Amino acid sequence: MKNGFGTKTRKVAVVGTGFVGSSYAFALLNQGIANELVLIDINQEKAEGEIRDLNHGMPFASPMHIWSGDYDECKDADLVVITAGANQGPGETRLDLVEKNVTIFNKIVRRIMDSGFNGIILVATNPVDILSYVTWQASGLPKERVIGSGTILDTARFRYLLSDYFHVDPRNVHAYIMGEHGDTELPVWSHAQIGGVPIKKFLNVENVAEHPDMKEIFLNTRDAAYHIINRKGATYYGIAMGLVRITKAILDNENAILTVSALLEGQYGVNNIYSGVPAIVNKDGIREVLELELNETELKQFQHSAHVLKETREKACQ
Ligand SMILES: NC(=O)C1=CN([C@@H]2O[C@H](COP(=O)(O)OP(=O)(O)OC[C@H]3O[C@@H](n4cnc5c(N)ncnc54)[C@H](O)[C@@H]3O)[C@@H](O)[C@H]2O)C=CC1
Ligand SMILES: CC(=O)C(=O)O
């Protein structure tokens, strides 16, 4: 479909215009990735305020039509990004949010689907792996078209901290965080490399996982959200940029490899769980989950993480 700018419409709807949703909208506008953006929130005044503020930046950005609306606006969206729901207070884990946010999601997803929507849903609300599963179930969409932001942010934090330690551009650091976006996530040291050179060669050690500096880097990655929430109450810029990265991979049909939350059906010995894994993302959503050869410790950690996600989901959804 053509829009008023004479270009193909790339329409994104955001449900939830709090810290994460509004930062995502701002990053999307700055990067000129979509040309139609609709913001939906239970607090319509908040969504309207964000629209006005974003629109005043338009003379400095690529043309984009931004407005606030209701769920019927999802009907012809290419992508709906859900960032609505409760966030963590100091000391709260992501899994502590599960009951509140499952209840909210059941309502939101029904309203999105009632609009006639038939695109891709990207979930960011926590606990993101469990809510991605709930969205997949409640929407009836194929698994490829329900994506969680997974460990995209954790992987970015990890790459940044490693780049800072080794004094190398983070774009040249290739290392994944997998599993739950949360306390049971794991660093995949066995495949971590910088410009093609394994990190163990840089450190001149056999077991990177036992290196004290690498242990500290992983802990600072895993606990980054707690460190930020204790200082400023919430995290939003990093995830907003991660969500834009996934959006670009979808709208530009990039076949990009990103650590997102995907439904696992036997990969890594795990079934019927959404969890953070490297996957190929394109216009159809998740094209393929990559199955890395994890070492024994990593595989056990990944399966433990999946077990915790499954138990939490079953308790919350019974
Ligand atoms: N996946 C990730 O890496 C990250 C996820 N998050 C998660 O994102 C979520 C949002 O966080 P913030 O934006 O900081 O929270 P926030 O409280 O600033 O915003 C939440 C928004 O959701 C709206 N909302 C609540 N119930 C709704 C409903 N039924 N329908 C429509 N809108 C509704 C609220 O009015 C509010 O505007 C949280 O669950 C947080 O934990 C935050 C950072 C990173
Ligand atoms: C809040 C959250 O999930 C994060 O910053 O990782």
Q: What is the pLDDT of residues 132-156, one digit of tens each?
A: 999 999 999 999 999 999 999 999 9
Cα separation of 207 and 141, whole Å?
A: 42
- Ligand 2, closest atom to CA 154? 6
pLDDT number for residue 318: 77
What domains can be seen in the chain, in order of their start residue? 11-148 (3.40.50.720), 152-316 (3.90.110.10)
| Catalytic site includes residue 227 | no
Give me Rg for the CA atoms of the chain: 19
Beta 197-198 vs 193-194: how paired, if at all? antiparallel
pLDDT number for residue 8: 81
Beta carbon of 16 within 6 Å of any ligand 1 atom: yes
**Are the C-beta atoms of residues 181 and 126 closer than 8 Å to each other?**
yes
For residue range 40-65, what is the model confidence (pLDDT) as tens digits?
999 999 999 999 999 999 999 999 99
Q: What is the mean pLDDT of residues 89-102?
A: 94
The active-site residue, picked from 181, 211, 227, 304, is: 181
pLDDT number for residue 7: 65
Beta carbon of 219 within 6 Å of any ligand 1 atom: no
Cα separation of 299 and 254, whole Å?
A: 29
pLDDT number for residue 5: 53
pLDDT beyond 60 at 173: yes
The model's pTM is 0.97
Q: What is the mean pLDDT of residues 212-238?
A: 97
- Please report which confidence band the pLDDT of residue 6 belongs to, taking 50, 70 and 90 as the band edges: low
Beta carbon of 225 within 6 Å of any ligand 2 atom: yes
ipTM over 0.85: yes
pLDDT beyond 90 at 275: yes
Q: What is the mean pLDDT of residues 287-306?
A: 98
Cα separation of 273 and 132, whole Å?
A: 9
pLDDT number for residue 310: 97
Residue 51: burial class (beta carbons within 10 Å; 0-12, 13-18, 19+): buried
**Residue 94 in tokens:** 């992501």
The fraction of the chain above a pLDDT of 70, given in percent, is 98
Mutate to test the pocket of ligand 2, among 20, 221, 229, 259 (most ligand atoms within 8 A of CB): 229
88 CA from centroid of ligand 1 (Å): 10
194 CA from centroid of ligand 2 (Å): 25
The CA angle 257-314-86, to the nearest 5 degrees, is 70
Give Cα 167 to chain centroid, integer Å.
Answer: 27
pLDDT beyond 80 at 14: yes
Q: What is the mean pLDDT of residues 89-98?
A: 93
Cα separation of 42 and 258, whole Å?
A: 31
The verdict on whether residue 18 carries a ligand-binding annotation is no
305 CA from centroid of ligand 1 (Å): 24
Atom 6 of ligand 2, residue of closest alpha carbon: 225
